[in-house]
Structure 1
Amino acid sequence: MQSTHLARTKLWIVAFAIVYWFLSLFTVEYLHRSYLRDYLAEQQQWFSQKLALIRANIEAKVNADILLADSLATILSFNPDVPYSKWTLLAGQLASKGEYIRSISIAPNDVVALVYPLAGNESVMGLDFRETPAQMPAVLEARMSRQITLDGPITLIQGGIGLIARAPVFADPPTNTQYWGVCSIVIDLDRLINSIRDVDLGEGMTLGIRTLLYPDKRGPIFIGQSSDFDNARAVAQVHLLGATWEIALAEPAELRSWGATNVVRLIGYCVTLFIFLSFLMVSNAYRMARLVSLQDVLTGLPNRRFAMSLLNKLIQAPNGRFTVINVDLNYFKQVNDSFGHAAGDAMLKAVAKRMQSVLRNSDMVARLGGDEFLLILPRLTSPADISHVLMKVRHAACEQPLQMADITLNISISMGAARYPEDGQDITELLHVADKAMYEDKQRIKGER
């Protein structure tokens, strides 16, 4: 009977634990997703703003250099026959205004005639674009579109890698039907890359840049590597005069802080676990306190309080019928006096265990105190059944003597039964009847000795 109560209590605890962890899991994960959404949005905004500044810086400086080619083309349209002395002065002034200009050249009829500075660019003099397949398509594009084009990154004739801004020159502005030639400004790609890399990207951040040939076709990567685009936290387009680039700001996956993205989970599950463990400790303390208050410490049986509570429930139950049997150990005082309390305790535990072994799971054995026990047998009121139980209990308790070290103790018990509702309408009356029957049994046993 008591084991059923404990099993029911454990079932409630397990059910509570399942519901608690389910609700906690749902709550923590919901809060985690909300936090993660806001955190990632904030991070995305930071990366986008950072990349926007880089893009604006590139567009401003590179476009400023490219526009110098357009300025030179305008000057040449009105004065194509520039003397070398004036060319050197003009090109020098234009170069001083640029950020990344490596060289400036003009090519009447698509053949390079003048270049500034000459030192280091001698190999460019006399270059015929019509015989240079790597550069002629860009020259033709500038001529046909009548606009500035940006070619590159390409390998330069004079060595190195660069970008070439080309502006077509027409001798009849503004109709622009008489093609004169082309002027070119070479942008030093190494200087451009170094200036971009000098920007404080943030710890572990990398930058990738590639040309964008068409909206759905990417060109070669000339700054960074493909992983910069694979791990990109923000991507933007750089719109230059004559070309479009795609830039990506990347953060390697291994640098992303696990703790920063899972802080709600860490705190939430720690708090959840703390609350759950606290509940277990409190419930266990309550269970132990209740167990102590309802259980006999020596035998582990339900005590008088538990037995009285169960009897009240059985009486209040509709159509409740049951039998109580009062059990008392005979000659128990002599055992304590002759062999000590350890022997008496051993006898009490042995009798309790033996009686439990022959009863049903629905029956209960309680220790009322001293050497007195009470058996509660629900739904058993037949005199024949009661006699059978009395016989089984007496046989189980007394058949085998109790062996203790070098002594042997014979066990004798007295029993008295009372039925509800036949023998009494309340607990006091029932126990009185059972106690009276037990006393009569005790007198009978004494008379037989």
Structure 2
Amino acid sequence: MGRYTRRQIAVAIILTIITIISIGMIEHLNSNQRAFIRDRIQDEARGDLSHIRAQLEAAILSDIYVLSSLTTLVSLSPNNDLSSWKEVARRIKRKSRHIKVIGLAPDDVVRFIYPLQGNEKVLGLDYRTVPKQWASIDRAREIENIFISGPVSLVQGGQALIVRIPIFTDPPNNKHYWGVCSAVISMDTLFLDAGVELFSFRYNIAIKGVDSTGNYGEIFYGDEQTFNDAFATETVHFPYGSWYIAASQKQDVLNQMPWNHRDLVRIMGYLVLATILLAFYAVYRLYQMADARALHDELTGLPNRRYFMFSLESLFNEQAKEPDSISLFAILNIDIDKFKAINDRYGHAAGDKVLVACAQRIKGALRSSDLVARIGGDEFLALLPRFNQSEEVETICVKVREAISQTPVVYKQHLIEVKASVGFVRYRDDFQSVEEMLHLADQRMYAEKREK
């Protein structure tokens, strides 16, 4: 239990208590009423299973994303100059919670392995001499895409996935095959973080799809009966292939009670259950409303200044600890030009519509990993993590300007032309605080505004 967060434990306890109380009350209801309540509980479980599916996809794709820096290094080093290999591998493993071992195999022979300790015997291994491993590598090269094999049992205990990334030195033509990058992903930490273990406390869960074969593959978690009795299923999608997940109800304890015990307090049990569910729903809705108001802008739905500053400070502190990181971050300060004139001419309702439209356009112009927030009035801030070239930031600035001004905002019979000024700043080691970065981005935004 020590590996669970306090929030996970609290959620598990609350859900378990609610489930126990609900089952106890359901025991006093007739069959139709029991079926109705059971369906409601299973609806919630379907949502939980969908969340698990999304968490598994996000965790695996996140690990693959950090591996991309290594494959890029190889593809850009045609002379096999991999002197920085160890440092890159060390950073990748540190940034990923699930990656345990990373290997490079030019011409499908393992020449680089990290960490080396405990894996010395792997060096020099020709994958073509190991049929089980060669099958997945050959498949990755054939499809020219990432292939996830396993799970496989580890010598030191536990299970792991093996990610195979084929490397070509002439992307996107992919005519010159260099070799393969392999990574071992721990199933234990992956399933823990995705919530599989917590979910299994209340429901049966099973997963099939060894070697990314989806619904047609072998079962590697749970048993076949779960699929036969499933009330919910989900598909975990990979860059190539998938897993198939099913959930079923644990043993039904409702029929273990004598019928007269259920009937004696049927009405009272129904009323108590309804009261508990309504009270829980009311508290949950109040929490959602309070949380949304505390961290999001009510008009645009974007994160507010408090949310943004928390994210920015976390990223700033992380970057300060790793000054030699191969990826940096940047801040954009975006201000709507002549917004006061729009309010004065068309009214505040029109101004609100312009702000909502601009929020949507800015968000659409950014990458999925970027964060945009409205910090007040007509000012927006965007946080751009993980970029390697300065030109990437300048390109995003151009996209934001064009997205905002490309089409007018329609308000009643009016077409309102909108433009914006954008100032940006990239992280440097000499910045002492986030306020210093924000001040510089603000200055550059106003400098651009004055030039118009």
TM-score interval (norm. to shorter) = 0.3 to 0.5
TM-score by length of 1: 0.47
Which structure: larger Rg? 1
TM-score by length of 2: 0.46
